[in-house]
Amino acid sequence: MKRWRLLTLSLLVGLVMATSTAVADGDLPTVSTPSVTILSGNGDDDQATTNDDSSQAVRAAKHRLYIPRRTATPTEDIRWPSRRIWIYMDTHDRAIQSAFKSAVSAWNRVGVVHLRWTKNEGRADIIARDGSLSSNSNSTTPGVGYTTSQLGSTSTQYNPDTHALINARSTLDPDQLDYASHHFRTEVAEHELGHALGLAHAPEYMHSVMIPRNVKTGIARLDRQTLRQLYNDEQ
Ligand SMILES: [Zn+2]
């Protein structure tokens, strides 16, 4: 039976409680740790229809995907079976919509994957949504006065046998990004969609949109390189 795994990656940022600005500070005491949950499959994964418009879940089970051993920045050892990936906008927040749209265009400009917007949620591989991600966890650093807030979060479901992504859900928190610029919101969206494409966190010292805890740059040369390597079927 197919085993599906759920992977949740969160982008955390520490905000000093006394201020209300979304401080872009990568040197904070919070650490984003990927949590992996194993969902037990029940064999109920056969779709009723298998037409070409169906989500990639159907095609995902067909063959084991090639995953490169070494890439410019780390990957989660998972990817979409096809370079054409459907994405559905599940938010009415204009600022979040705008950030996701810009981020999709930015990833498409790399020339590797072709993210296409769909109005059909059932067809979507990736769901772009808004949601509240804040959690007060200032107890870990008593007296310091930090509270932990997440700017974005992405959960993915994939088949560990074929390394194929089945679906992904990227969430941006409008409250946490309220005071941010469109530019910064777009970088956070790029980071989350990077996870949705199979990219993992890059080391802090790298010039990459995938560094944890906070973003300092948009999609960089190393990120473009990793995406090319991950989706290169010619090897
Ligand atoms: Zn992340």
> Ligand 1 center to residue 28 CA distance, Å?
15
The predicted structure's pLDDT at residue 77: 96
Cα 232 to averaged position of ligand 1 atoms, centre (Å)? 23
pLDDT of residue 214: 75
Residue-level pLDDT at 20: 27
Residue 64 is predicted with a pLDDT of 87
What does the H/E/C string look like for 211-229? CCCCCCCCCCHHHHHHHHH
How many angstroms is it from 50 CA to the middle of ligand 1? 33
Strand partners, 7: 36, 156
pLDDT of residue 59: 59
User: In angstroms, what is the span from residue 75 Cα to ligand 1's centroid?
Assistant: 12
Domains of the chain with bracketed CATH: 4-20+29-37+68-230 (3.40.390.10)
The pLDDT of residue 22: 30
Residues of the chain with pLDDT under 50: 1-2, 13-53, 138, 141
Compute, in angstroms, the gap from residue 1 CA to the centroid of ligand 1: 30
- Measured in Å, residue 8 CA sits from the centre of ligand 1 at 9
